[in-house]
A and B are shown apart, each in its own frame.
Chain A
Amino acid sequence: MATTKTHFVGQWDTFHNNGPFPTKILFETRLESKGNMPSLVDRYNDAAKEVQRLLQDSLNHNERFRAYGSAWSLSAIAHQKDRMHYNGLMNLKIPVTPNDLQAGSPYRADYLFFFECGNTIKEISEHVHRNGRAMKASGASNGQTIAGAISTGIHGSALDFGAVQDFVVGINIIIGPGPQDIVYLERDSKPALSAAFAQTIHSRVIRNDGLFQAALVSLGAFGFIHGVVIDTEDRYLLKRYTRRIKKEQALKLAETMDFANSDFKIATELDANGKGLRPYHYKVYINPYNPAEDYVTEIIYKKPYRQSYPDPIPTMKTAIYKDLPTWIAIFAAKHNRLIPKLIGAMKGIIFPALDTDIEGTIGEIFWDSTHRGPAFAVTMGVDHTQSRKALEVFLKLVNDEGPIPGAVALRFVKASQATLAFTRFPITCVLEMDGVLWKGNQNMISLEQFTRRIAEVFMAEGIRFTLHWGKNAAWNFPGLIDYMYGNKDDEWKEYRSALLSKPMADLFSNDFVQTIGLSDYRVNAPATLIASR
């Protein structure tokens, strides 16, 4: 049987040291060993039973419960003051066979994979690669668990695909302790697995586009996401170039996404007419404190897979998350006027090395990153046509009210269908500032004040924006959720209320969900809303 250790921890922290947060209990569930229970499905169901036992126990004790994986979010989204459940050890990988497919499904069984919640992006990437397939998108690195990644909407930078949740085609959620409380959700417009498969994992199927889209980016509040079905594609390589790019060229590309007619060209990435090809990924690095300086771009093109290519890992090892050293935070708090000089002096460390061309699989290009001390990250989504204005406003704020110890970047992602995906614009320009976590004082704006000013200034300028759920933001800013999502948050609440009983909706809420105004329960949400179609 799956077993759970109970740790009376007192406090809990994120991977990036954004806490500590007070927490009573941390549960850690381990799967039954393969030797004792050889069937993957039996072990999966056994784990589900154990989670249901914990849910019942939490209900009995009138305590809230929240599952989390790698704790990579910098916001308090994963935190729960009562009971937290670490599911990083629940990493079963269940193959999908042609017999498991729903009749008329647009998917092919040999491209689908069923993963338990605690599989990390790296585990998934390697597993599908061993089976001749590749993930369609990834975050900038690979340590997030799949359940955490989709629940917070991690995005990567796939211009014409979308975010990580956009390759999920089925979600298995435990919504309570009862026998009918395990559901398997799919889109009715694009079904994947059959009811017979769902029965093997003791689940009832709900095929409903609206419910599925609401549950995709669930912020952990739709229940315990136990497993997901993902769609993959044939293996491919990504060719990554880093180049200096003129500021004007970079911003024009950001606004138009017109790579064919841009003056910026990579000589080896042109069509027969000499026009630029459309890349898979386009990212721009910006020194916020030197307006005259040109930018650095990381531009990636998709290529057919081949077995032999130079090892990209030595380069990627030094390229991902080139954080500022932590001593800068201490230095910055005392001598904040020197931050621009420091960022300028260290841009060779912060930005990727120029004119480096490498090739690798998606798992190799978006490779491992390690903990480098307390970090902050502010990540906004704006419509790409507004990226120039948004950047201008953001940089003015950073310079007028900062400086703060971080560097700025832009990435671009196709719209997600998930109801509360922050990548909700046709192409979202992801405007991000990453750096070392600092403490404000009389000389220097605090992170809380800075994130608050971002919301104020962007609203005053009339720029529509969203905020990454897993990053630092003024989540308690009045009217924030409505400004970002219009009536989409109401739609999300309706689906959630229709799916969960009131006690379970409360059990799966936390301070974060409450703060942003998403925890309220609609007693009259119609049951027909979540009917299988």
Chain B
Amino acid sequence: MSTVSGTPQPNALNYTEGFYRGLDVHVIDTVAKLKLTDHEVMAMIRCPEGIHTVEYRVTLGDVLRSGFTLAKRRKVRIKYVCLKESND
């Protein structure tokens, strides 16, 4: 998901092919361990002026892991790009 307005934070050293080329990409790739009383996962991200793009991925393995652990071990794969600081 990308916002229609706003400019993504650039990264001159990112030579990835495709959409993320030249952008400052942050990745969250972790397994969240939930306590018995927890029901949801909250990933904290730091974007001073908001988010430009978010990509969330789920694989079959992730679904199976969640199923086998009664949703207490959840794989979180998020890629995001912040909005460029506007400096106005």
Contact = CB atoms under 8 A, between A and B. Distances in A.
Contact of A26 (B4, B13, B21): B13
A122 interface: yes
Contacts of B5: 126
Interface in B17-57: 17-19, 21-22
B86 A123 contact: yes
A28 B22 CA distance: 13
B86 A93 contact: yes
A370 B19 contact: yes
A233 interface: no
B6 A372 contact: no
A70 interface: yes
B7 A120 contact: yes
User: Considering residues B12, B13, B21, which has the most beta carbons from chain A within 10 angstroms of its beta carbon?
Assistant: B12
A126 B6 contact: yes
Given A70-B22, A370-B19, A371-B22, A9 B7 contact: no
Given A71-B22, A123-B86, A7 B13 contact: yes
B87 A9 contact: no
Interface in A1-44: 7, 9, 13, 15, 17, 26, 28, 31, 34, 40, 43
A475 B4 CA distance: 38
B13 A373 contact: no
Of residues B5, B17, B86, B87, which shows the largest number of chain A Cβ atoms within 10 Å of its Cβ?
A: B87
Contact of B7 (A31, A34, A92, A123): A123
Contact of A91 (B6, B18, B87): B87
B88 A93 contact: yes
Contacts of B88: 40, 92-93, 127
Nearest to A367: B4
B68 interface: no
Nearest to B2: A368
B87 A92 contact: yes
Interface string A33-57: 0100000100100000000000000
Interface string B61-88: 0000000000000000000000011111
Nearest to A142: B7
Q: Which one of B7, B17, B18, B22 has the greatest number of beta carbons of chain A within 10 Å?
A: B7
Interface residues of B, number: 18
Contacts of B17: 17, 371, 373
A320 B21 CA distance: 17
A71 B88 CA distance: 24
B86 A88 contact: no
A72 B69 CA distance: 48
B13 A9 contact: yes
A89 interface: yes
A120 B22 CA distance: 13
B84 to A, nearest CB: 7
A351 interface: no
A116 B6 CA distance: 17
A198 interface: no
A422 interface: no
A194 to B, nearest CB: 22
B87 A86 contact: no
Contacts of A28: 12
Contacts of B84: 91, 123
Interface string A407-423: 00000000000000000
A88 B23 CA distance: 11
A26 B14 CA distance: 13
Interface string A273-288: 0000000000000000
Contacts of A89: 10, 85
Given A15-B22, A126-B7, 8 more contacts: A9-B13, A40-B87, A86-B12, A88-B12, A91-B85, A93-B86, A123-B86, A370-B19
25 contacts: A15-B22, A17-B17, A26-B13, A31-B87, A40-B88, A70-B10, A71-B22, A88-B12, A89-B10, A91-B84, A91-B86, A91-B87, A92-B87, A92-B88, A93-B86, A93-B87, A122-B7, A123-B7, A123-B84, A123-B86, A126-B5, A126-B6, A313-B4, A371-B21, A372-B18
Interface of A: 7, 9, 13, 15, 17, 26, 28, 31, 34, 40, 43, 70-71, 86, 88-89, 91-93, 116, 120, 122-123, 126-127, 313, 370-373
Interface of B: 4-7, 10, 12-13, 15, 17-19, 21-22, 84-88
Closest 8 pairs between A and B when the two form their complex, measured CB to CB: A371-B21, A93-B88, A86-B12, A88-B10, A92-B87, A370-B19, A91-B87, A123-B7
